Structure 1
Amino acid sequence: MPEIHSARMIRTVIFDMDGVLVDTEPLHHDAFFRHFAELGIAMTREEYATFLGSSTRNVYQRLKAQFGLTEEVETLINRKRELFGTSFDASTGLDLLPGARALIEELHAAGVPLQLASSASKQTIARVFTRFGLYPYFDNLVSGEDFPRSKPDPAIFLHAATLAGMPPAECLVIEDSANGVTAAKAAGMVCVGYRSEHSEGQDLHHADQVVAHLGQLSAATLLSF
């Protein structure tokens, strides 16, 4: 009997990190707003929400231009990372988001190669992967700090696909931000939007599917797109 092939085959899953695997956003929020206070910047919640999914470098490039900051972008980044590192090391309640570890383990057991494509710095990715023992499950970790433009630019996802040796059409991305979903679709990938309670105000309607909990996903459902 001939095999039945779907029009598309998902061969790798690409995870975003912040807001999908772990909620470090409160720690980033705290670090950013402490730094904004030091810089004398009055930041609204609405304006801050537009930064979600952007790399720290891109955030400070925007702020430097908008507020005429005299410090070098590198100096601003280093101060924010220092503040974040202090908050991260002191946090006792930080954990993977509900359903994240189970989904990772199920996909890994099913032989699905996993990639990370996060706007976070390599340093932050290393902190999270070390604390939660995630290194064995992922083939490649891609940081937004290596790209001149943040999501919604698709470059980070296209690079993850190249490292995985997969065509974009066979990659599925799990994202929680509007910028991330836009980037995944611009890369020609399938995208599941995760409407996380930790990522408010994000328009995910252009994702192929939107879920409210990672427990709604399984290896079978993701590979059937």
Structure 2
Amino acid sequence: MIQTVIFDMDGVIVDTEPVHKFAYYQHFNELGILVTEEMYTSFTGNSTRNIFQKLKVQFDLPHDVEDLILRKRHLFNEAFDVKPDLYLVEGVFELIQDLYANGMQLILASSASNGTIERIFNRFDLHSYFTHKVSGEDFPKSKPHPAIFEHAASLSLAPKENCIVIEDSTNGIEAAVGAGIFCVGYDSFHSKNQDLSKADLIIQHFNELNFNRVKSLV
């Protein structure tokens, strides 16, 4: 029986992707680099550090990776603070409440920075539902490397076999599969051009899940 649900954040709990994209492209313009839509899409599920490590090599940027990260985060925070139309993904809060009320352990495992995670959790008052919040910035390799989900599963009160991951990106699903954890792929309207085929189950809306279905998935 499933006892722990590990949630991704961006695209699963909240759609911050438009804010991230706005901030990234502001930064790309400042740097004078041309990042194609295809290249940008391939970064989905990567941490900011890993993205700039790749861009530094790709475009031979002279800047320090840490400086690039700080500038992008500044641009993101500016946009985040003024963007009023930032909402939880439809149906996800009801699912979180249902799982929590029935004693399911909830863990966050997101490629977002600790700062961004805190901003989202503060804005939507999510802290009380999750026992742990794991950030991709604390790992040298981003999804699709499985390290973040392996660590999240190690924090579970149950064995890994009694955990599931909910993800919406190609890289995230590959990371969950690599960690050997049952993966639910959320076919999000906001996550374009993502391959969910390796997920164990694919859903189009969170009303397809509830405590009774989740606990019986494996």
Aligned position for 1:201: 193
Alignment length, in residue pairs? Answer: 217
Q: Distance in 2 between matches of 1:10 and 1:20?
A: 19
Residue 208 (structure 2) pairs with residue 221 (structure 1): no
Q: Which runs of 4+ in 1 moved over 6 A?
A: none
Aligned position for 1:83: 75
Aligned position for 2:63: 71
Q: Distance in 2 between matches of 1:104 and 1:129?
A: 13
Describe the SS at the equivalent of 1:13. strand
Aligned position for 1:22: 14
Describe the SS at the equivalent of 2:155. helix
Select 1:182's aligned residue among 162, 170, 174.
Answer: 174
Q: Distance in 2 between matches of 1:197 and 1:96?
A: 13
Aligned position for 2:47: 55
What is the percentage of aligned positions where both structures have the same residue?
55
Select 1:154's aligned residue among 146, 154, 174.
Answer: 146
Q: CA deviation at 1:216?
A: 1.1
Select 1:109's aligned residue among 96, 101, 107.
Answer: 101
Q: Distance in 2 between matches of 1:170 and 1:28?
A: 33
Q: CA deviation at 1:165?
A: 3.6
Residue 128 (structure 2) pairs with residue 136 (structure 1): yes
Which is higher, the Rg of structure 1 or of structure 2?
A: 1
Q: CA deviation at 1:215?
A: 1.3
Q: CA deviation at 1:166?
A: 3.0
Name the amino acid aligned to 2:138.
D
Describe the SS at the equivalent of 2:108. strand
2:12 and 2:186 in contact (8 A); partners too = yes
User: For each residue in 1:147-189, what CA deviation from the matched residue of structure 2 results, as whole angstroms up to 9, or x when unmatched?
Assistant: 0000011100111111224322211000000100111011111
Q: Distance in 1 between matches of 2:24 and 2:101?
A: 38
CA RMSD of aligned residues (A): 0.7
Q: Distance in 2 between matches of 1:133 and 1:120?
A: 17
Q: Distance in 1 between matches of 2:80 and 2:108?
A: 20
Q: Distance in 2 between matches of 1:47 and 1:67?
A: 12
Unaligned runs of 5+ in 2: none
Describe the SS at the equivalent of 1:18. coil
Unaligned runs of 5+ in 1: 1-8
Q: Distance in 2 between matches of 1:155 and 1:80?
A: 24
Name the amino acid aligned to 2:71.
R
Name the amino acid aligned to 1:155.
A
